[in-house]
Amino acid sequence: MPKQRATRVPNADALADDLVTYMDFRAACEGTSHQLDQDFYTAYILMGVASFFGITWNKQGRLCRDVQNPMAFALWTGNEQTFN
């Protein structure tokens, strides 16, 4: 179940699009597939969900952390030197 809180982001659709893009990338890194679409994420974001699958974002709606797969997030953001 996604974690919930009351904080709203300025553009739920843009955040949902980023989540789909990142989750597709992460799934590829993990050798699996990602089947959820932007509408799924947007609906839950608008209900106040604060994270999906260990991925969190800031008040501006930018992805900021993936506690479930930090290496994939580091590769996606270009911060992989953190793990070297």
**pLDDT tens readout for residues 7-24:** 667 799 999 999 999 999
Read off the pLDDT of each residue in 50-68 and give the average, rounded to a whole number: 93
pLDDT at 79: 74
Per-residue tokens: 75: 């590769």
Mean pLDDT (whole number) for 38-49: 94
pLDDT at residue 34 greater than cutoff 50 = yes
Q: Taking Cα atoms as reference points, which of 81, 74, 77, 15 lies closest to residue 48? A: 15
This prediction's pTM: 0.84
Q: Where are the beta strands (DSSP E) in the chain?
A: 3-4, 49-52, 55-57, 63-66
**pLDDT category, 80, cuts 50, 70, 90?**
low
In which region does residue 4 sit, left (phi positive, over 0), alpha (psi from -120 to 50) or beta (all else)? beta
39 torsion bin: left (phi>0), alpha (psi -120 to 50), beta (else): alpha
Query: Tokens 């990338």 belong to which residue?
Result: 25
